Structure 1
Amino acid sequence: MSQSRLASCIPLPLDNKALSNVVEKAKDWALMHGVGMRDKAHFSKDTIQIAPFVLLPSPFPRTEFTKAVDLQPVLNELMHKVSHDDEFLEKTLQNALEVDDFTAKLYNIWIKVREEGITQSLSLGLFRSDYLMQQPDSNRIKQVEFNTVAASFGAITSYLPTMFRYILRQLGHGELIKNMPENRALSGLCSGIIEAYDMFGVPSAVVLFVVEEVSYNICDQRFHEFEISEKRPDIMIYRKTLNEIHEEAELNDKKQLVIEGRPVAVVYYRSGYEPAQYPSQKEWDARLRVERSSAIKCPSIHYQLAGTKKVQQALAAPGALERFVAEGELRARVRDIFTGLYSLDFDDSGERAVEMAIADAERFVLKPQREGGGNNLYGADVKEALLRMRHSRERAAYILMERILPPLISGYVVRPNAAVPPSLCDLVSELGIFGVIIGSKEKIYSNRQVGHMLRTKLADANEGGVAAGLGALDSPYLLDL
């Protein structure tokens, strides 16, 4: 099937001289406003380079953007309820746990703290639901995944509308700015951390960011710290790796997590979502110590488990949503964003899914229980993997998802150290909507949508993660189709 195309916000291609001129201006704007990352090839704490970005905002249907925004509180509540449904999580994850050691270790922490008695009933979710437009379905949005841990780029993408307004003015198209939605994701996400801090209710407490050993996506992380410090100068923020938490943090007799003599009110994970971030038992011991504590976790261990791909697949099964969403109209709205999702368990439906994918591998994506980008398999790799795993328990650690075919967009990607002017190329965009939720099993105290992001990648690239080096930052230009 040939892919349809959405028109760029201005006629393309641009004249080479005008293109080179505006690219240089845009790169300087990006550097001077923190649209940057550290260089993975030549890492230095003293320098940043531009994060990859698209030169012009990408077209996105206004109705579908609004639909995604309106649905976010519904999805926040859905995932909150899933995370507190012990029976559903146990049944959904049981087969994956036998073959996925990483998910099993997270699950074992959850079991251990439940058996001991959960110290902190409140959880903080800074979530992000990601969508692609499905071209054969009139460009309606379909959910790619739901992120419950370390959902990134809310900070940097909050600055992008301002950058794109500047670029459009430089190109003589200031009249188009009205079609660019404001993005207050940074402010909204930080308000969630501040609200959770106040609910903890200890004035001397601190906020703890759990970070990688080496942080390449430093701007996105630090902007959260700067924003919180500006809004609430009384809140002190510490940055610690899991290894440092193991060495420096302890539980006191109140089960408070204590660092440098001060209790921790909120633990915000920007690391801890993939196996490489737990190189030894120390990191797992640190994660258990945090989970045992009275700190409000973002995410709690059950929120992280609720964000696994197996849960995403299970919720799309017939009758599953009825367990969590009472209102029929809301269920229909949620079900409408699901694409085909299939279990690969060793049962009749799993066997049918394997046969279907081997017969027509290009239609599917094979997804493991992982976050962070770069983990999925596509096309011929799907067939090869399933033929290899066909009779192995390993396949239960994956789900099968129908591939979403978004419309093409023409545009320019600006990358660090790349040739100027960039080439005009075909792109596709993925929309992410951020949400904040705070609650316990019995009560939800806050639940709202707080902003968005757009990631854009080359049309022939399978993955689109910016931090993984595969996508580019973007912002939607809303179309009335």
Structure 2
Amino acid sequence: MATCGSYCCDGDFNKDDVSTTRTIESCLPLPLPDEILEDIVPKAKDFAILHGAGMRYRSNYDPDSLQLAPFFLLPSAFPRREFDRVVKLQSIVNILMHRIAHDYQFLKDALEKTIKVDDFTRRLWDIYTTVREEGISQLISLGMFRCDYFYSVPSQIAQQVEINTIASSFGALAARISVMHRYVLGEMRKPELLGHLPENDALAGLCGGMIAAWDAYGCPKAVILFIVEDVTYNICDQRFHEYEIRRQRPDIHVIRRNLTQISQRGRLTSDKRLVIDGDEIAVVYFRAGYEPGQYHSEAEWEARLTVERSKAIKSPSIHYHLAGTKKVQQEIARPGVLNKFLSDSEAKLVSQLFTGLYTLDMSPEGDQAVQMAMDNPERFVLKPQREGGGNNVYGQEIRMVLEKIKDSQEREAYILMDRIRPPIQQNYLIRAHEPVKLVEVVSELGIFGTILGTAKDIQFSKFAGHMLRTKLSSVNEGGVAAGLGALDSVFLFD
């Protein structure tokens, strides 16, 4: 076992062998002695829940109680060089997504085949074209993005998994878990390790974006609207955004409504101001609306259209939402496309974030990608145009899905991506009502960014914090709210 704070590669790594994955050491030698675990685990649990790291569980939902959000006892290792690189690039990625969102022709060309076979994306596109033909009432958009990365063993760089432009979550809980890990290392009498934990102001950064948008709207009596699910399980992460807005600006009020309530109680004035229960809405923050199940009927779709028609500043606006689709991300990775939106030097830097992304259009190029995936499905991930976790297809299931759709246009609802191979490390998984387990895990880094502006004028583009989501190395999906992963924080190593 390597000494505390050191990192090693177990065995030789063959870049052509996707089954081989490098392992890296934890920040402390593992396993920990039983007496240390018995002391530190209850302390970590208490610190986490008392500082708001809680959730409501789907399996035993109770609106009057919280359970501990799943987390890992120790911060997980991530290379400092790559962390710093993606942090520095986030403001450029923000601008890239902003410019793509404001390029109607690019979005149209990218999505024209997808909207023929994916009804949900088509409904979003219909809203976009409707408001565009009517004349967009609010030219300012607020982007609160999260770009997700795995550190890739073969390439030895951080590679982008996806860009989230709607409901980018866990800014609040990520900041709290980072503080909890500082406490844990302190209690374990390892203060020398604290310098490896980067500061994380994700909650303040994201809320700062909403406050700036509220100021830009220019109506002191107007409020911020959070569009939420019918039942909110990830309640702490959402509520802490409200509390942080109030902490920074006591004069700003936040209301929460779901799409059904907006359809019943929202209206537009003659000059396109959005009013709900008597409150004028300055900023709309979508924490729902990203998956079909949140639209129960035409009423919810009408509510989304009403919001989009309004003068309220949206995060995201409908064109930002469309810019975050998987198909658009695949098109961005085509050779030369980045140069349409960024300078040559910026395009070169951003292109290095991408792994292989392939179209499944009904074309020779798409046919080649289908065959490639069927020949070696373990190398790829099959992605539909969905957010929220649990939607991707992996391994042999890719072959099964493609066998059914390879000769139909239905395949154009998907893209194909190279599977990124992150290093494996060990950590202790802590879940409510379960024994603590030492498990093998992989970690996904999320980098938050905020941007505010119109097509012609960007007021700011900023890095806004980070999160780390860690999952068992044996599972494919890693959504915390979906019960597939757990909260974590970054331990940087050189």
Shared fold (TM-score, shorter chain, > 0.5) = yes
1:87 alignment partner in structure 2: 105
Q: Report the residue type matching 1:261 in the other structure.
A: G
CA deviation vs aligned residue, 1:17-65 (integer Å, no higher than 9, x gap): 3213211111111110000101211111111111110110001100000
Aligned residue among 198, 216, 219 for 2:233: 216
The answer to whether structure 1 residue 13 and structure 2 residue 27 are counterparts is no
In structure 2, what is the equivalent of residue 280 of structure 1?
297
| Partner in structure 2 of residue 65 of structure 1 | 83
Asked if structure 1 preserves the Cα contact closer than 8 Å seen for 2:25 and 2:426, the reply is yes
Secondary structure at the counterpart of residue 412 of structure 1:
strand
Cα shift at 1:316: 0.6
In structure 1, the partner of 2:119 is 101
Q: Which residue of 1 aligns with 2:418?
A: 402
Amino acid at match of 1:164: H
Measure the CA separation in 2 of the matches of 1:124 and 1:283.
22
Q: Any idea what SS the aligned residue of 1:98 has? A: helix
CA contact (8 A) 2:173 2:236 kept: yes
Name the aligned partner's letter for residue 34 of structure 1. Answer: G
Equivalences for 1:100-249 in 2 at 5 Å?
100-138=118-156, 140-249=157-266
The equivalent residue for 1:256 is 273
1:308 alignment counterpart: 325
Instruction: Tell me how far apart the structure 1 counterparts of residues 451 and 123 of structure 2 sit (CA, whole Å).
Output: 25
For 1:323-362, what aligned pairs fall within 5 Å after superposition?
Answer: 323-326=340-343, 328-362=344-378
Matches within 5 A, 1:358-369: 358-369=374-385
Q: In the alignment, is residue 380 of structure 1 matched against residue 396 of structure 2?
A: yes
How does the TM-score come out when normalised to structure 1?
A: 0.98
Provide, for residues 270-318 of structure 1, a one-character-per-residue CA deviation record: whole Å limited to 9, x for no partner.
0000000001111000000000000000000000000000011001111
- Residue 467 of structure 1 deviates from its aligned partner by 1.0
Contact 2:427 2:441 in 1 (8 A): yes
Map Cα deviations across residues 197-233 of structure 1 (whole Å, 9 max, x no partner). 0000011101100000000000000000001111111
The reply to whether residue 411 of structure 1 matches residue 424 of structure 2 is: no
Q: Which moved more, 1:21-30 or 1:432-441?
A: 21-30
- Bigger drift between 251-260 and 300-309 goes to 251-260
Aligned-residue Cα RMSD (Å) equals 0.8
Structure 1 gaps, min length 5: none
CA distance in 1: counterparts of 2:255 and 2:301, whole angstroms: 20
Q: Distance in 2 between matches of 1:260 and 1:95?
A: 40
Of 470, 475, 492, the residue aligned with 1:456 is: 470
**How does 1:23-38 map onto structure 2 within 5 Å?**
23-38=41-56
In structure 1, C-alpha distance between the alignment counterparts of 2:445 and 2:81, rounded to whole Å: 13
Question: Which of the numbers 25, 44, 49 marks the counterpart of 2:67?
Answer: 49
CA distance in 2, matches of 1:9, 1:185: 23
- Give the AA of the match of 1:429: S
Kindly state the Cα deviation for residue 170 of structure 1 after the two structures are TM-superposed.
1.7
C-alpha separation between the residues in 1 aligned to 2:405 and 2:38? 49
2:442–2:470 CA contact under 8 A, matched in 1:
yes
**Mapped partners of 1:21, 1:212: distance in 2:** 38
Which SS does the other structure have where 1:5 is aligned? coil
Consecutive unaligned residues in structure 2, runs of 5 or more: 1-18
1:15 Cα deviation from its structure 2 partner: 1.2
Q: Which amino acid in structure 2 is aligned with residue 161 of structure 1? A: S
Contact 2:204/2:244 (<8 A) preserved: yes
Distance 1:40 1:17 in 2: 33
Secondary structure, aligned partner of 1:6: coil
What is the SS of the residue equivalent to 1:63? helix
**Aligned mates of 1:411, 1:231 — CA distance in 2:** 36
Aligned pair count reads 476
SS in 2 for 1:424: strand
What is the identity, as a one-letter code, of the residue corresponding to 1:329? S
| Per-residue Cα deviation, 1:71-112 (whole angstroms, up to 9, x for no partner) | 100000000000000000000001110110000000000000
Give, in whole Å, the separation in 1 of the partners of 2:480 and 2:445.
13
TM-score norm. by structure 2 comes to 0.96
Identical positions, percent: 53
Shift of 1:260: 2.3
